[in-house]
Amino acid sequence: MTHRSEIFELIDIYIDQAAAMSPSACTYLGKDLDQDKLDDLSIAGMAKVAELTREVLKKLQALTPIDEIDRIAKDVMNERLSSRLELHDSQEEHVLWNVLTSPPSDIRSIFELMSRESDKDFANIAARLLAVENAHKQWISTIAEVAKNGKTTAQRQVLGVIAQLESYANGGYSQMCKNFDPDFKYPAIHTAAKSAEISSAQTAQYLKNEYLPIANPNDAFGAERYAVWARYFTGAKLDLRATYEWGMADLKAINERMWAIAEQIKPGAKTLREVADFLDHDPKYVIKGEGNVVKYLQDFTDAAIKQMDGEFFEIDDRIKICEARLAPEGSASAPYYNGPSEDLSRPGTTWIPMLGKDEVSSWHLVSTWYHEAVPGHHLQIGTVAIEKERLSRFQRTAATISGYSEGWALYAERFMNELGAFDEPGIEMGYLSAQALRAARIIVDIGMHLGYTDFDGNVWNAESSRKLLNEQALLDADHSRSETDRYLGWPGQAISYKVGERVWMKSREDAKIRLGATFDVKKFHTYALKIGPMGLDNFADEMKNWDGK
């Protein structure tokens, strides 16, 4: 294979070497390597990955870029791998886990992405299910070892993962296999599911009986730890107090618009929560039945792809398929997206958690699916997947940067609002509530972890966070609780949405001023997506140099 440069060759080798250490990464990439295995979650296993990272970074520093494409590829890889290595060396990567991102949930979710086309595929599923027990034991050994150094996860997050493991143990894996093989053609996977359930129960018991008593009683990470994670998720150096104040002002402005719309929806309403409850029960928005929910979202996605292609975006034929599916039991409350496999044989997929219910209300789903599918995550991540001439394999498969990707997805919602997609009052309220949520995240995420005071003069905590999310971002009680737990267990990630959107919007508005009449929004979108994911500081600098072509 001929590479365009030494940097691209090094990156190509690294991706293969890293994948060889991670069967789960192979699943994401669509590679047929070690699909009967799970990742080594032991301290020693993760140390091997870190050692590979050090070796590659050293080699990368010695190489000189041949052009701008090379320069960006090198900068992005250097920043991301250095950040990850910092998290490993500080043992932060071992301590930060929660319902949304933890080894148990990663193990469970990887099965959803496995191929189910052949006898071999189902044999792999059975073998991987039998490997769950060892993976759980490796993870337990890791967190137990790190705990000896006084580093433990917060009790709130431990309780959340215990509940998640118990849902897996109480028929979660068996139901998954019934979905995969409803006719029981492959009995081995159903038997193996029982093994994974027993292991889930045992792991939950370990967490409950041995780890929880020594777990960190404090939710807040503090300024020093928070800054490390905020830089990791945004790729930017932030003035956290200024960012917090900006979030406060943004939420105030959004809420003012929400009240103006509220008068059209439910005249005389005393609270925004009252308006949300009214919309939740409005028959014109209610979709009943899981099958109907999936069909609604799939039809919506297909229509958005058709509508957006050509005038405002370039959507390659290879990424014009984006599936809508039900999220596995035990998932967190928020919808999410998985990108396509490296060879595009597995399409991008949006997932909706039903949370035990049999219906949803679409007033708040419209903006969410523009965010998750097109022109949001699917367009951004799908574009990266096919840009094989311009982007390195690291940029295409491993350079996940929340500030860039979530910032784009939130920008996509705003852009659809600019096009008039939310002109119906109920749908606009859904969009505004999503915007309010992202602004509220800045307030409560920074506020809780850094000990800032809330509107009543008390330090932000889980209770005041849930109250804000419920009353001003219109989340119901379950979602408010789930979101608050997420922020407390994933510091710095929640702020990346609004912080990223701000950078995307400023880049566009600066380009409009700089280019004047020659500015073309479709060209802006195309260029900004094709240069690939990078930290927000680097992205802002790159976009300042865009010549409008």
Query: What would the DSSP string read from start to end of 398-452?
Result: T---HHHHHHHHHHHHHHHHHTTTT-SHHHHHHHHHHHHHHHHHHHHHHHHHHT-
Q: Give the burial string for 477-486 (b: 16+ CB within 10 Å, else e).
A: eebbbbbbbb
Q: What are phi and psi of 85, to 5 degrees?
A: -65, -35
Positions of the chain with pLDDT lower than 70, given as ranges? 1, 332
Mark which of 462, 481, 497 sits at the end of a domain.
497
Do 196 and 258 reside in the same domain of the chain?
no
**DSSP state for residue 532 in the 8-state scheme:** -
What is the rounded (10 degree) CA torsion for 157, 161, 166, 168? Answer: 160
- Considering the domain boundaries, does residue 319 fall inside one? yes
- Considering the domain boundaries, does residue 519 fall inside one? no
What is the C-alpha to C-alpha distance for residues 329 and 293, in angstroms, rounded to an integer?
16
Q: What are phi and psi of 436, to 5 degrees?
A: -65, -40
Closest to 232 in 3D by CA, of 80, 441, 90: 80
- Considering the domain boundaries, does residue 538 fall inside one? no
Mark which of 220, 238, 258 sits at the end of a domain.
220
Q: Looking up tokens 């939710």, which residue turns up? A: 219
Instruction: State residue 469's pLDDT score.
Output: 93
Do 40 and 109 reside in the same domain of the chain?
yes
Mark which of 220, 243, 274 sits at the end of a domain.
220
Q: Looking up tokens 């939130």, which residue turns up? A: 410
Q: Report how many domains make up the chain.
A: 2
Do 191 and 233 reside in the same domain of the chain?
no
What is the rounded (10 degree) CA torsion for 255, 270, 360, 167? Answer: 90
322-326: strand order across its sheet: 322-326, 348-352, 336-338
Instruction: State residue 1's pLDDT score.
Output: 64
Instruction: State residue 479's pLDDT score.
Output: 85
- Considering the domain boundaries, does residue 70 fall inside one? yes
Instruction: State residue 294's pLDDT score.
Output: 96
Instruction: State residue 28's pLDDT score.
Output: 87
Closest to 372 in 3D by CA, of 337, 338, 405, 328: 337
- Considering the domain boundaries, does residue 503 fall inside one? no
- Domain containing 41 equals 6-220
Q: Give the burial string for 27-65 (b: 16+ CB within 10 Å, else e).
A: bbbbbeebbebbbbbbbeebeebeebbeebeeebeeeee
Instruction: State residue 328's pLDDT score.
Output: 84
Do 247 and 160 reside in the same domain of the chain?
no
> Are the C-beta atoms of 290 and 354 separated by less than 8 Å?
yes
Closest to 75 in 3D by CA, of 383, 391, 380: 391
- Considering the domain boundaries, does residue 524 fall inside one? no
Mean pLDDT of the chain: 94
Return all residues near 242 (Cβ < 8 A) that are at least 6 apart: none
What is the C-alpha to C-alpha distance for residues 145 and 45, in angstroms, rounded to an integer?
14
- Considering the domain boundaries, does residue 408 fall inside one? yes
Do 210 and 238 reside in the same domain of the chain?
no
What is the C-alpha to C-alpha distance for residues 540 and 144, in angstroms, rounded to an integer?
41
